[in-house]
Chain A
């Protein structure tokens, strides 16, 4: 059974810092991995999707890496801003069109 763990559970940083969020999964036979952002009381916004054959994906100040063999992914946020404050969720799927298995999220607070 696939399990996804995110560390840390919460993180508070001053504005401008670069930071790394971690995600690990127990079954390395994943199809893809997706990072989401969830603002309080809102839905999920997809940030990045990494296919199993890829090592990383970048979008603006965000960079996500994937090491399938070790069951790990990291989300790097450069030059953090208060608007980045949200819960970040990592999720993996095992096949095309299959369920996403989510981690419990990292609650990020960026202080002005």
Chain B
């Protein structure tokens, strides 16, 4: 009965590779997010989708491309990985149209070597 799930949990890869992280929520929420937590544990928004439409796109390199095939899924594809991309990436979801809680996934720890 996992609410927000992410795969993989850990991802170790070399510089220059392309990788994807998948996120799924079974809460029936309309809005999904990607956050990045850096080595100093600071969490920052990257993207937000509402009903498969991009609504927030922070100043993120265009090597990062989110894709939402349906409102229950929001995947993150990263091209040409760099050392600085190493971080924990969290997916979250919430209902739309009100002051609703955001629910977070367990995170994906990406290590670029």
Contact = CB atoms under 8 A, between A and B. Distances in A.
Interface of A: 31-32, 34, 36, 42-46, 49, 51-52, 87, 89, 91, 93, 96-102, 104-105
A43 B104 contact: yes
Interface in B46-98: 48, 50, 55-56, 58, 90, 92, 94, 96-98
B76 to A, nearest CB: 16
B97 A43 contact: no
5 contacts: A43-B104, A89-B43, A97-B96, A98-B56, A102-B42
Contacts of A97: 30-31, 48, 50, 55, 94, 96-97, 100
Nearest to B55: A97
Contacts of A104: 40-42
B101 interface: yes
Nearest to B6: A43
B99 A102 contact: no
